[in-house]
Homo-oligomer: A and B are copies of this chain.
């Protein structure tokens, strides 16, 4: 079987692959550092071309970082997929908390330590090395369109534009492919079929004056109180969201989802959630299948932060000048982000909070959901079997939001399913000492070759 030969090639070329990974990690690409980002984009373009593909930087419209776009047409391949990866990263944060400098990509105890190692330049290189190895040994049995994002950390605006305005550039791709890494130690994996939509918003109540001595309180309105009442009008003490029509149009889970949730419950998902978030229990005594169901299928309205006036240790008796709250709304399938956005604005107006402004602060995007019986799911499962990992648990939805939604929504309507070990153990994405394991990286290269092999040959 040719796949074994490809694995042997990967084992013999492993040092080269690891060096290529370190090379890309040594090129900083923090989203806001334009020159670095362009240098990194060109390296990525060249690395795509080494797989035999055509590649280019899509010119930027307005502000932004380029999408690295490419296409690999393989002789005899009948199917096409679109590969998503990101090459931008978060800032490095506090330098003195890094054991090894964030752009040295030093190998320490089997781990490559660098900003972007796990999120997600390490995976990006693994994917490209997989294609290269496959091509050199056995041929790539699937056509691949590359859409590598330079703005994942800041909103993916250029990618959204490309996908919306140039669907023809996706050729006839039927699925979006975005693997994660595979832990060699852990050997458990997840396949995730969907993700929630998200609206990021900010409420501002600014009374356009300075802070006033709080003796004025009986007669001058207080923006902090106004914002408290606004927030309370949107979600009651029982947790129910009270924006008119908020829960309309929500679709029921797909047939078969209940069974998937039961499997997750049996596999100890509840304990994993506790560990991951550092909590002892959950709201409303939720547990078991109901807990997982709520996590995946309930829309939410979350306060990410609020601020007004002074909260230090001493009394500072003022009536503040303004109050702000940042919030996110997570949307489940069936809800329309534009419609929910209109409902939020209508609610504020109807409830008389005309002194509270609402602004979009990030995403305004719908949930996405692909069926469980797709070729991409089958290919992920087969690849996982090829590498003797434990059988994947299937997650109908994730609680988070991902760029997959841009591929699965009109005009593209692709299917999607992501697969990986999901950050087990924690790899410090966004934090100091971010890392990817050397063996993990090589295993991910193999998992990517297996996936492409299975996708083309299933």
Contacts and interface: CB of A to CB of B under 8 A. Distances in A.
Interface stretch (A39-47, A276-284, A379-387): A276-284
A24 B56 CA distance: 74
Given A232-B229, A324-B311, A305 B300 contact: no
Interface stretch (A62-70, A114-122, A170-178, A218-226): A218-226
A434 interface: no
Contacts of A198: 315, 317
Interface string A229-241: 1011101110100
B216 A399 contact: yes
A290 to B, nearest CB: 10
| Residue from A196, A198, A216, A229 with most neighbouring chain B CB atoms (10 Å) | A216
A306 B304 contact: no
B302 A214 contact: yes
B232 A228 contact: yes
A273 interface: yes
A239 B225 CA distance: 9
A432 to B, nearest CB: 15
Nearest to A210: B278
A228 B282 CA distance: 20
Nearest to A277: B212
A307 interface: yes
B305 A326 contact: no
A314 B361 contact: yes
A202 B311 contact: yes
Interface of A: 154, 196, 198, 200, 202, 209-210, 212-222, 224-225, 228-229, 231-233, 235-237, 239, 273, 277-279, 282-283, 286, 291, 294-295, 298, 300-320, 323-326, 328, 330, 361-363, 398-401
Given A214-B330, A302-B317, 4 more contacts: A209-B277, A218-B399, A224-B304, A229-B236
